[in-house]
């Protein structure tokens, strides 16, 4: 279903009573209109399939700037940027790593980390992709600039078109255009 709508899945996570589904377009964008379109399509399907047996809140979102890294291409696309990686299986006695992504080679995510022996030059390590539990970009000024540069021109907005006369918040807390 995602493919036919022009989206791809980033992550599905159930936390308490919130079912969070992150999706994006192949170019990495996912607008508010995309969230609405996706939510309206998937909500009835989830209800029919009865995947979650209790009441739940459905949350559809984009991955955001400090996005989770889930595919080989995510690690390649954001090479040079800082990331935090938590391993499901320890590597050299460690489960948590932080450093700058170098990409993926032979099934390993390559990461420049601070040298544990204190040398100035960062140390390049390989972490088995299959053993990664969770990985995400770290929010930095450089990441914000890079994310902004990758957006299509139409997705950039400064909010100047918004006015209080045209948008009101209803009693249920939703934005409504008037």
**Do residues 103 and 130 share a domain?**
yes
**Do residues 79 and 119 share a domain?**
yes
The answer on pLDDT for 127 being more than 70 is yes
pLDDT for the residue 27: 86
What pLDDT, in 10s, does the model give residues 135-155? 999 999 999 998 888 766 654
**Do residues 59 and 87 share a domain?**
no
Total of domains in the chain:
2
For residue 56, the domain's CATH number is: 3.30.300.70
Q: Does a structural domain hold residue 167?
A: no
**Do residues 32 and 78 share a domain?**
no
The answer on pLDDT for 159 being more than 90 is no
pLDDT for the residue 46: 87
Strand pairing report for 123-128 and 57-61:
unpaired
Q: What is the pTM of this model?
A: 0.76
Range of the domain at 135: 72-150
What pLDDT, in 10s, does the model give residues 60-101? 999 999 999 999 999 999 999 999 999 999 999 999 999 999
Q: Does a structural domain hold residue 105?
A: yes
């Amino acid at each position: 279903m995602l493919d036919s709508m022009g989206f791809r899945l980033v992550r599905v996570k159930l936390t308490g009573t919130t079912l969070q589904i992150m999706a994006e377009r192949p170019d990495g964008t996912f607008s508010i209109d995309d969230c609405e379109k996706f939510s309206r399509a998937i909500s009835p399907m989830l209800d029919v399939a009865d995947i979650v047996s209790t009441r739940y809140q459905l949350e559809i979102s984009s991955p955001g700037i400090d996005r989770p890294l889930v595919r080989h291409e995510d690690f390649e696309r954001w090479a040079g940027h800082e990331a935090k990686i938590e391993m499901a299986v320890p590597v050299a006695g460690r489960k948590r790593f932080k450093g700058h992504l170098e990409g993926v080679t032979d099934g390993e995510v390559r990461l420049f980390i601070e040298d544990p022996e204190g040398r100035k030059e960062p140390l390049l390590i390989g972490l088995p992709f299959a053993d990664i539990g969770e990985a995400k970009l770290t929010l930095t000024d450089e990441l914000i600039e890079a994310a902004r540069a990758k957006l299509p021109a139409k997705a950039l907005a400064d909010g100047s078109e918004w006015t209080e006369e045209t948008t009101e918040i209803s009693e249920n807390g939703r934005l409504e255009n008037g």
